[in-house]
Amino acid sequence: MEEEEHQQTTIPLLHHRNIRLKTTLLSEISGAVGDLGTFIPIVLTLTLVSHLDLSTTLIFTALYNIATGILFGLPMPVQPMKSIAAVAVSESPHLTPSQIAAAGISTAATLLFLGATGLMSFLYRFIPLPVVRGVQLSQGLSFAFSAIKYIRYNQDFVTSKATTPRSWLGLDGLLVALAAVLFLVLSTGSGDTPVKDEDIAQEGAEEEGGPRSNASLDKRLKVLSAIPAALIVFLFGLVLCFVRDPLIFKDIKFGPSRIHLLKITWEDWKVGFLRAAVPQIPLSVLNSVIAVCKLSGDLFPGGGDLSAAKVSISVGIMNLLGCWFGAMPVCHGAGGLAGQYRFGARSGLSVVFLGIGKLVIGFVFGNSFVRILSQFPIGILGVLLLFAGIELAMASRDMNSKEESFVMLVCAAVSLTGSSAALGFGCGILLFLLLKLRSMECSGFRFSRVGSKSSATYEAGLIP
């Protein structure tokens, strides 16, 4: 009895209802770095091109990570708003920090309104599953395509373009990236659920007195899955930063930058909303709320189904707080959740650890940390992003009919070729409704049909 009480009081953080440790500690920490393949390139680009305050962004995103990890109890990612970042650095003239903040605040206010009024929950209930899967598939493949470019070509983040083909040798060569891929595949496999001790014990018992079973194989897979693969790859990349440029040590200045309130003019509001918030809002609704809620239900059945209203409100509150001080606009992304899950994250404790790490870096190194990030091997970031993108795309494998697959693939194709999740979503919805209309029985009209199909197909409604 005393032993049980001692176990419950030693580390209360690990026994919190929402952030209870669900796997090994190293696995959670490894999963925490699973979405950095997206986070680091965008943050680095905004810092170099748009003069984003890195220290402020690290501190605020750290607080977001800790808060959402405790609130949701899942490895809820905190990622950059990608459309705003793309507009900020790719269009001319580049957006200023105040205009980026205005875009983030405008997007946040929209999502906060949708969540608080219940409209987001309405959208989540009635958007067909094949359309959501199409958005997830397009986002996952988009990440994978970007990852392959990171691996194959040198990147100029200032111009957001690939430059020369990457050489085979060197500290950021193709061989380093391919070695990281092989290591991650051998240690994590296809991302299946790790083998449990009770399964090994059961197979070992069945093995006695009978034919040899897979118990020994399961033991080996359990050992491999216990390796914090993504964490090892990321730490290896950090070591290479200092090996590639030893002068980094001299350029490091300790201490955070001074956090101050941004001055946002009416012109900043107009430019930020029209150029950046308008394309970001539909992407945030689809990928940051609806897709991430659907994916959480897939990855954490029986307890991981998130409230769309809460997720939408969470995005709104985060940016309404941080953007005023120059922090990068952020959201919850399905790709980040897939990446963190892929590398071992199973609870909110994972992103709490990530938040603590960001907090330490933000306060200790401040803006000088951009000097370290600028030397991080891009090929390794590409490898992490590749695994996250494929994990997200694989969520679409549950389509059970040719009709569902047809809608999903058209939605994904339009999203990819048009570079717009909103356009793909609209085409997917239209196609879904047309297919339902085609199979609908209308009284007073007689359609020529092959076979005797009942109206049960339509009675299923829009809810998947």
Read off the pLDDT of residues 29-81 as tens digits, 9 standing for 90 and up: 999 999 899 999 999 999 999 999 999 999 999 999 999 999 999 999 999 99
Instruction: Work out the end-to-end distance of the chain between its first and last CA atoms, rounded to an integer number of angstroms.
Output: 49
- CB distance 379 to 173 below 8 Å: yes
List b or e across 264-276, with b for residues whose CB sees 16 or more CB atoms inside 10 angstroms.
beeebbebbbebb
pLDDT at 8 over 50: no
Number of helices (H), then strands (E), belonging to the chain: the values are 24, 4
pLDDT (mean) for 264-280: 95
Who's near 157: CB < 8 A, 6+ residues apart? 41, 44, 45, 48, 49
Who's near 173: CB < 8 A, 6+ residues apart? 166, 167, 379
For 34-54, the three-class secondary structure string (H helix, E strand, C coil) is CCHHHHHHHHHHHHHHCCCCH
pLDDT (mean) for 208-228: 69
Q: Report pLDDT for 14.
A: 44
The C-alpha atoms of residue 134 and residue 147 are separated, in whole angstroms, by 20
pLDDT (mean) for 265-292: 94
- CB distance 64 to 104 below 8 Å: no
Q: What are phi and psi of 414, to 5 degrees?
A: -65, -40
Question: Amino acid identity of 325?
Answer: F
- CB distance 141 to 416 below 8 Å: yes
The C-alpha atoms of residue 170 and residue 168 are separated, in whole angstroms, by 7
Q: Report pLDDT for 262.
A: 95
CB burial of residue 457 (10 Å; 0-12, 13-18, 19+): middle
Lowest pLDDT segment from 52-66, 101-115, 186-200, 330-344? 186-200
Give pTM, 2 decimals: 0.85
What's the whole-number average pLDDT of the chain? 86
Query: Could you give the 3-state DSSP secondary structure of residue 164?
Result: strand
Which sign does the torsion angle of CA 23, 25, 30, 33 carry? positive
The C-alpha atoms of residue 145 and residue 189 are separated, in whole angstroms, by 21
Question: Amino acid identity of 308?
Answer: A
User: For residue range 418-461, what is the model confidence (pLDDT) as tens digits?
Assistant: 768 889 999 999 999 999 998 886 554 444 443 444 444 434 44
pLDDT at 4 over 50: no
The C-alpha atoms of residue 428 and residue 423 are separated, in whole angstroms, by 9
CA distances from 373 to 39, 43, 46, 359 (A): 11, 9, 12, 16
The C-alpha atoms of residue 415 and residue 425 are separated, in whole angstroms, by 7
- CB distance 184 to 229 below 8 Å: yes
Omega prior to 93 cis, within 30 of 0 = yes
pLDDT at 244 over 50: yes
Lowest pLDDT segment from 80-94, 139-153, 317-331? 80-94
Query: Could you give the 3-state DSSP secondary structure of residue 155?
Result: strand
Res. 22 pLDDT band, cuts 50 70 90? confident
